Amino acid sequence: MLAQCRIIEFPKIQDRRGNLTFIEENRHVPFEIKRVYYLYDVPGGESRGGHAHKQLQQVLIAVSGSFDVVLDDGFSREKITLNRPWQGLYIPQMVWREIENFSSGAVCLVLASEFYDEEDYYRNYANFLRAARGT
């Protein structure tokens, strides 16, 4: 599953008045966008995430500032820094994620393929590992 995580480059319209990036479902992200949410005002040293999803696919974007995303598919781990508002990180289902090292003023915008459903979460790492490894 980690191999399916990837950085997506969105269109960037550069202008002397400032830059503009747009995102269209099923074109720039590989799913229909059913939900948008964002993380902001994250205190220094705090982290978010610490779970995986059974079905949900998401794209994370650092629309302001920067943060690190630690990805874990139950077999290997990788850390990716997001700090460019024209890039998104695609995360498919069954990938444990932790979001940490938020810069001051960072905003993490998330595009999600499904409505919010607590039943879709693995919030316990041992349970996630069992499911990911099929043990």
Binding site for ligand T46 (CB under 6 A): 35, 37, 39, 48-49, 58, 60, 97, 99, 110, 116
Minimal distance, residue 113 CB to ligand T46, in Å: 11
Residue by residue, DSSP assigns 37-77 as EEE--PPTT--EEEEEESS--EEEEEEES-EEEEEE-SS-E
User: Which single residue brings its beta carbon nearest to ligand T46?
Assistant: 48
Question: CB-wise, 21 or 93, nearer to ligand T46?
Answer: 93
Kindly state the smallest distance separating residue 35's Cβ from ligand T46, in Å: 6
Burial-class residue 37 by CB neighbours within 10 Å (0-12, 13-18, 19+).
Answer: exposed
> Of 28, 35, 48, 51, which is the active-site residue?
51
Q: Strand 35-39 and strand 107-112: pairing?
A: antiparallel
Scan for tokens 């001051």, then name that residue: 104
The rounded distance, in Å, linking the Cα atoms of 105 and 127 is: 34
Question: CB-wise, 60 or 62, nearer to ligand T46?
Answer: 60
Which CB atom, from 10 or from 92, has the smaller least distance to ligand T46?
Answer: 92
Q: Indicate if 53 belongs to the active site.
A: no
For the annotated catalytic residues, the residue numbers are 51
